[in-house]
Amino acid sequence: MPLHNRTAIVTGSGRGIGREIALKLAREGANVVVNDLDAEPAAETVAAVRDAGGDAVACVGSVTEDGFAERFVRTAVESFGGLDIIVNNAGYTWDNVIQKMTDDQWRAILDVHLTAPFRILRAAQPVISAAAKAEAAAQGRARARKVVNIASVAGLAGNPGQVSYAAAKAGVTGLSRTLAKEWGRYNVTVNTVAFGLIRTRLTEASAGDSEIDVEGRRIKVGVNPAILDAATSLIPLGRAGTPVEAANAVYLFCTEESDYITGETVVCGGGWRG
């Protein structure tokens, strides 16, 4: 199993793409720390991982809350003895054109998509640094570790009504490229997967017909069917992607075959770049 004896933390892994990432890593041998805002979906993913033959624990809470990043990293170390793979996946959209976007909307989206990954990576640095130095002293070289940050084609090409989301996701690519240069000395690769149109509960609902609760905020989600059809028609492969396919793209950067690839952004969008 390629990821045997590896420990992964995956934000937003109670549902959707994050859940499939957790399951994929577990099927390939990794121990997984599952995260979700709510205890029930986190517990369901943990159970699914264990049913698949892997091991997992839950770390419930908002990635934006003070102290979460340290608690998340500590859960991996205390539960499985270390940390090898970090996947910053959690997020949602709260769209509006710029003249109607409030400061609260702007801050909320930047907090979850950009500030939270920054905090998690900052909290992980002492653990990764110490492990890499110990391994280098004992074996001559630290073993490869992986960071995969999730971005979007919106951050590469822009998207009307998503100024905050596009800005945050563009920031994720800059974060990844910089950290690739800082953490290369620890033998850590840092890459970004930018998703195109992936069918999830947030994209399959019609615009305005569904809501999600995010820390007490009721946020309308969904995509206008006409816009969805138009976007799909532009995808060279002729269809939206699935959460499983999205998870497979993330997995590529978690394998030893990608040990000499770092600071890169790969679009998982069926040939569509926004």
150: closest CA among 42, 243, 223?
A: 243
230 φ/ψ angles, rounded to the nearest 5 degrees: -65, -45
- State phi, psi for 58 to the nearest 5 degrees: -105, 145
Q: Which residues are catalytic?
A: 165
Q: Judge if pTM exceeds 0.75.
A: yes
* pLDDT tens readout for residues 14-49: 999 999 999 999 999 999 999 999 999 999 999 999
Whether 208 shows a pLDDT value over 60: the answer reads no
Tokens matching residue 194: 């930018």
> Could you read off the pLDDT of 105-114 as tens digits, one per residue?
999 999 999 9
Which residue, among 63, 5, 74, 65, has the nearest Cα to 35 in the 3D structure? Answer: 63
Q: pLDDT band at 271, cuts 50/70/90? A: very high
Residue of 265, 263, 86, 88 lying closest to 178 (CA atoms): 263
- Report d(CA 250, CA 171) in Å as an integer: 19
What pLDDT digit, counting tens, does each position of 93-139 carry?
999 999 999 999 999 999 999 999 999 999 999 999 999 999 999 99
Q: What is the pLDDT of residues 149-181, one digit of tens each?
A: 999 999 999 999 999 999 999 999 999 999 999
Half-sphere exposure of 29 (CA within 13 A, CB side): 9
> For residues 225 and 268, is the Cβ–Cβ distance under 8 A?
no
Q: Structural domains in the chain? A: 6-198+242-268 (3.40.50.720)
Place of tokens 């969008």: 269
